[in-house]
């Protein structure tokens, strides 16, 4: 069953998970990050990538993907196709929250990056028995647009696992240059050991979830901490 975020309740949301196994998905999903690298760099046919891009941008069917995390957290990716253009929205959600946290949004207001590499690395292993996107390589590539710093070897491994040629380092480095709307940014810890981002458009210029009750904030930090 596909569940839309409350702001998408009247939108034509469809389950995007079956698209992950279809030809052309990764060059289509990562098209904004892979400028200068054709679909063949992903091990895909250009026609398949173009057809998949049309499906992802279909105004009558907006794909949604869920990345289950530890502690009941989930990252939800929505494709949002209006009459003029398509945007992608990444939300961090939890059943106990009344409002989702926005990690990234590539509309005209641009929000991102929303994760640094140590946090993304902590999220690659899916909880036992979880539903949604559970393959570690697929999770990395699906969340790559949210990332705000680099880890070339892990991205090469993920690309190869999803069908790209073995010699994918140049593509990986291009993907890690940062999203064209906000780039790659520096991260640091504040006095309370919360990760902050230097990017002007990042939602992480303040501690993530700083409005949450202490127990929920602690659970969120545990979810994003490498084990």
Helix (H, G, I), strand (E, B) or coil at 49: helix
Mean pLDDT is lowest, of 67-71, 83-87, 214-218, for 83-87
Contacts of 3 (CB under 8 A, 6+ apart): none
**pLDDT tens across 97-154, in order?**
988 999 999 988 899 999 988 899 999 999 999 999 999 999 999 999 998 777 788 9
pLDDT band at 1 (very low <50, low <70, confident <90, very high): very low
Domain ranges of the chain: 6-223
Nearest alpha carbon to residue 221 among 37, 30, 70, 61: 70
The count of residues in the chain is 227
For residues 137 and 158, is the Cβ–Cβ distance under 8 A?
yes
Residue 9 pLDDT > 90, yes or no?
Answer: no
């Amino acid at each position: 069953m596909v569940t839309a975020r409350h702001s998408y309740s009247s939108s034509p949301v469809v389950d995007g998970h079956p698209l992950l196994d279809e030809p052309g998905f990764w060059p289509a999903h990562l098209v904004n990050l892979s400028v200068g690298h054709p679909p063949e760099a992903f091990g895909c046919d250009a026609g398949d990538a173009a057809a998949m891009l049309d499906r992802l941008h279909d105004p009558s069917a907006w794909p949604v993907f869920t990345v289950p995390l530890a502690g009941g957290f989930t990252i939800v990716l929505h494709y949002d196709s209006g009459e003029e253009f398509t945007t992608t929205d990444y939300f961090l959600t939890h059943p106990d929250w009344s409002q989702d946290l926005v990690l990234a949004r590539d509309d005209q207001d641009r929000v991102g990056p929303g994760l640094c590499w140590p946090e993304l690395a902590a999220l690659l292993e899916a909880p036992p028995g979880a539903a949604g996107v559970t393959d570690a390589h697929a999770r990395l590539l699906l969340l790559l647009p949210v990332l705000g710093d680099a880890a070339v070897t892990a991205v090469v491994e993920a690309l190869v696992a999803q069908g790209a040629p073995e010699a994918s380092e140049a593509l990986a480095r291009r993907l890690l240059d940062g999203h064209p709307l906000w780039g790659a940014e520096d991260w640091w810890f504040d006095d309370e050991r919360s990760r902050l981002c230097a990017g002007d458009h990042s939602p992480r210029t303040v501690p993530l979830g700083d409005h949450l009750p202490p127990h929920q904030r602690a659970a969120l930090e545990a979810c994003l901490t490498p084990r």
